[in-house]
Amino acid sequence: QVQLVESGGGSVQAGGSLRLSCAASGDTDSYNCMGWFRQEPGKEREGLAAIYTGGGYSYYADSVKGRFTISQDNAENTVYLQLNSLQPEDTAMYYCAADWIYRSTWSRPSSYNYWGQGTQVTVSS
């Protein structure tokens, strides 16, 4: 089992930045990938970025490429998502996830069995 705890969400004005953290505990050998997702009420969960913890390879959705950056601290079993140039449309609940998955499926929520509780990001205009 893997436990994931997100933090770092909050309220910012348009153009601002936030840094989200996701700390993993438990059987940290049971996953090779950690991803970040977001979800607005009534909408599907959207894959934003993922990092493969062994080699550090990262992947991004086109919607956030150039604004969001995923990184990791393997010693702390923690993954970060730096959110820059935030816009009101970025308002959502942000989740991290982990599992052992193939690179072609990193953006699919169904690929992950382990999820955090989420952290809210609200961007005002």
Q: Mean pLDDT over residues 69-85, rounded?
A: 95
> For the chain, how big is the Rg over CA atoms in Å?
13
Mean pLDDT of the chain: 95
**pLDDT at 77 (0 to 100):** 92
| Angstrom distance (rounded) from CA 87 to CA 85 | 6
Residue 109 clears pLDDT 80, i.e. is over it: yes
**pLDDT at 95 (0 to 100):** 98
59-91: buried (b, 16+ CB within 10 Å) or exposed (e) per residue? bbbeebeeebbbebeeeebbbbbebeebeeebb
Residue 103 clears pLDDT 80, i.e. is over it: no
Q: Mean pLDDT over residues 90-98, rounded?
A: 98
Residue 28 clears pLDDT 90, i.e. is over it: no
Sign of CA dihedral 113, 117, 118, 119: negative
Neighbours of 107 (CB within 10 A): 17
Residue 61 clears pLDDT 90, i.e. is over it: yes
Q: Mean pLDDT over residues 4-17, rounded?
A: 98
Neighbours of 31 (CB within 10 A): 22
Strands of the sheet containing 2-7, edge to edge, are 2-7, 18-26, 78-83, 68-73
Q: Mean pLDDT over residues 57-83, rounded?
A: 95
Q: Mean pLDDT over residues 89-97, rounded?
A: 97
Structure letter (DSSP) for residue 43: S
What percentage of the chain's residues is helix, strand, coil (to nearest 5)?
10, 50, 35
